[in-house]
Structure 1
Amino acid sequence: MLARLSRPDDGFNFGPPVTSTGDPSGEFNPIIILFINHLEKTNNLHALDQAIESAYQKAPKFMDTFDIIGVDSFLRFADDLLGWIPREGSEGQDVYNTLCMFYFAFNQSPLEELQNPTTPDASGRPLTWLSSWLVVYSQLVGLWMDTTESLTEESLESFKRSKHYDVDEALPPPGGWKAFNEFFSRQLKADARPIESPLDDKVIVYPAYCKYDSSVADHVVSISSAGTVLIKNLPWTIGSLLRGSEYANDFNGAVWMHGFLNAYNYHRQHAPVSGEVIEAKIIQGSNYFEVDVDGNKLQAPVTPGFRQLCAP
């Protein structure tokens, strides 16, 4: 059960993947208190208890690495992410594991039922209070990652030493990366990954350095002539995914591709062919990250589905 809104006096450590600047006031961030208060206001305090218990039953060893054994320790974990200094281990999985840990709890019933369903009929609906909270929470984490406190010389070195990040291919800005988001959205050196036949539009290149679903033939799914595509056996329309774009019907009869960017991947996207950008807009969505149990670890499946439906 929820017992307090402050941290214990003896400090707290939830495992190697996360380093926090700490909170000198000893109290939770207001966004965490808002979460707890709204659970109480809506008579859903039990939902968090049950979700954490369910998560721990499914992945006890994984959660033990973060010292998460119940509600209090999970709330402290979530609170520390608001001042997290990301760093990596040699295998390049620590940032990824940390994100999986947070969202895995919200994938559990009954917390999952308090969020917008990831179904076609829910597209465009107003967000539930918990889905709205997750969007705001992720935005606050994103704002922190824009600060200079989010990246240190030591934490940057951990990414340089970690495999998969390929930092030697990156082009640092003048003066170097000053915040984690600057590093995360790093550019590549001009000669790092040459594009095949850049002047030939008959050659289509992948728009991102990501993993494509190998269970789908040729990595593509056909879009029907009516503009629908089957994602996890649910018929989504391109119009609903593009939220009213006047160009939605132009994709009828085309193909849809699903890609997954891991935390260590180069995160800029490029046009697969030459052309002119005729529409660009922000589509507000929910914040949902699908996480499954794989033995003693958590992972986001690469099959077509729903992950981060809006950027933090």
Structure 2
Amino acid sequence: MHKITRELESLIKKHKWTKDFEQAVQMAQSHNVPSIAHIRSLDDYLKYVDELVNWAPRETDQNPRLLYTKLVEFYFFLDQPPVKRHQSKIKPGGGEKKLKPLSRWIVDFAKAWGNYLDTTESAREVQSFKDDPLFNWEEYMPPPSGYLTFNQFFARHVKPGMRPIAGLCDNKVLVSPADCTFVGSWQISEKSEIMVVDQKNG
């Protein structure tokens, strides 16, 4: 068992959260999500966490957004009310300065998975992204050695001129620096407050 999984197991015992996590699993199951149907108990959830922390991201024909799905599944369980109440509240502009133990564990889990994604083993499925036309492989510049870790692939460099920035130096134009999927838009009025990041000072 990975150290991060043992830490969650210890937290659950220390704070007497067993019933809360079991209820969270049952609530998640009530939504009938096929990809998490096998997680029916706290032990199943701990096994799932233990596998995820060393999971090498990949794309498949059955689920072309598998990495996204895995992330959503992970947070879906933690977002169920019985365990969400044990987490620090997230507020725009900054939340609680000292994280609650469960929120601290979530951060530590992300770091642990990130550490794995810095290993050469994590790159074993990168070819699946190259094979997926949605990733537009030809728009990027792989290093001469190829991508040696998943994180190296994830932070890949775009070829010059492939993604020109729209409205450069025009603060009236909103630009997203990431490859992403559009999921919604929100009305902006004269009363809206939008944080503008200075290009020089970040």
- TM-score of Structure 1 vs Structure 2, range by shorter chain: 0.7 to 0.9
Runs of 4+ off more than 6 Å: none
In 1, Cα distance between equivalents of 2:73 and 2:174: 33
In structure 1, stretches of 5+ residues that fail to align are 1-27, 224-254, 258-270, 280-312
Between structures 1 and 2, the one with greater strand share? 1
Shift of 1:215: 3.9
SS at match of 1:103: helix
> 1:149 aligns to what?
121
**Count of matched residue positions in the alignment of Structure 1 and Structure 2:** 200
Alignment of 1:1-312 (within 5 A): 28-64=1-37, 67-90=38-61, 92-119=64-91, 123-152=95-124, 155-196=125-166, 201=170, 204=173, 206-209=175-178, 210-211=180-181, 214-217=184-187, 222-223=192-193, 255-256=194-195, 277-279=200-202
Equivalent pair of 1:92/1:163 in contact (CA under 8 Å):
no
SS at match of 2:161: coil
In structure 2, stretches of 5+ residues that fail to align are none
Equivalent pair of 1:36/1:45 in contact (CA under 8 Å):
no
* More moved, 89-98 vs 42-51: 89-98
Q: Per-residue displacement from partner, 1:260-280 (whole Å, max 9, x unpaired)?
A: xxxxxxxxxxx8xxx75225x
Equivalent pair of 1:92/1:165 in contact (CA under 8 Å):
no
Equivalent pair of 2:166/2:175 in contact (CA under 8 Å):
no
Aligned-pair RMSD on alpha carbons?
Answer: 2.8
Equivalent pair of 1:222/1:256 in contact (CA under 8 Å):
no
Shift of 1:139: 0.4
Between structures 1 and 2, the one with greater helix share? 2
- Return the letter of the residue paired with 1:277: K
Shift of 1:162: 1.8
TM-score by length of 2: 0.85
TM-score by length of 1: 0.57
Q: Per-residue displacement from partner, 1:237-258 (whole Å, max 9, x unpaired)?
A: xxxxxxxxxxxxxxxxxx259x
In 2, Cα distance between equivalents of 1:47 and 1:151: 36
